[in-house]
Amino acid sequence: MDILRLPALTDNYIFLLYDADRAIAAAVDPAEPQPVLKELDRLGATLTAIFNTHHHWDHIGGNEVLLRAFPQAVVYGGAEDRGRIPGQQVFLQAGDRVEWGDRVAEILFLPGHTRAHIAYYFPPVEQSDGWGELFCGDTLFAGGCGRLLEGTPAQMVASLSQIRALPDRTRVWCAHEYTLKNLQFALTVDGENPDLLARFAAVQQARQHQEATVPSALGVEKRTNPFLRWDQPALQRSVSSQDPIQTFARMRGMKDRF
């Protein structure tokens, strides 16, 4: 399975999963149809699936046009998003498995950003490079996490804990290019973290050259992303709390105002 990153809108990414042997593809969170249609034409591939992580317009905006072009494509989304995702046919819950091409995705239920958010995790397979692939929408970003629009801090900590439990060798395919600003904020609460300082310098250089910073590696996120480090004493001191959920909530509030 190849993964192609397609820029969309202002700062979104659409991910196109491509099985060259079968000449099929699946779109993850197609914000708009044109980048997907253009890439499918270039590849000579048929769209067989749309994997939505949640119902926001900048993740589902391309569904209807893509379905008109490929009416046999199957639309997947969370069970709790019933009625909110155009064309949805499969309603996924925690622990479900989705077969696509020669890979199988495990479904994580991740409420917080929305009440119905899910993620698709493809574990590594034999004879691969040993990396898993996580398509997590707006739950975890490179260096940050999504706003709490329909959920609570406790829910988001529980959701991020599921992601944090995945192997370090997991590529995080998040849906926005927010990394530089996320790390600028991270430095305000974890500014003595040497891994964070090194990452910030590297991301600054990459963005100066208009290079993408997605995917990131989950091992890097665990060392540098404050929203996966709510139980670290340095971060707790930064927000004057020893309670993990309160630490997370205070950081998220600070980031909302940053």
CATH code (residue 133): 3.60.15.10
Say how many domains are in the chain. 1
Look at residue 222 and tell me whether its pLDDT is greater than 80: yes
Domain range for 247 is: 2-256
Which of the following is catalytic: 59, 81, 117, 190? 59
Q: Tell me what the mean pLDDT of segment 159-175 comes to.
A: 98
Q: Tell me what the mean pLDDT of segment 226-245 comes to.
A: 96
Alpha carbon of 127 to those of 18, 42, 122, 124, 169: distances in Å?
A: 18, 28, 14, 9, 15
Which of the following is catalytic: 55, 81, 113, 117? 113
Q: Tell me, what's the pLDDT at 128?
A: 72
Look at residue 181 and tell me whether its pLDDT is greater than 80: yes
Cβ atoms of residues 73 and 33 within 8 Å: no
**End-to-end CA, the chain:** 38
Which of the following is catalytic: 58, 81, 117, 190? 58
Q: What is the pTM of this model?
A: 0.96
Catalytic residue flag (residue 176): yes
| pLDDT band at 129; cut points 50, 70, 90 | confident
Alpha carbon of 235 to those of 50, 118, 195, 226: distances in Å?
A: 38, 27, 14, 7
Q: Of 131, 253, 234, 142, which is closest to residue 189 (Cα–Cα)?
A: 234
Tokens describing residue 41? 């034409």
Catalytic residue flag (residue 55): no
Catalytic residue flag (residue 56): yes
Cβ atoms of residues 195 and 228 within 8 Å: no
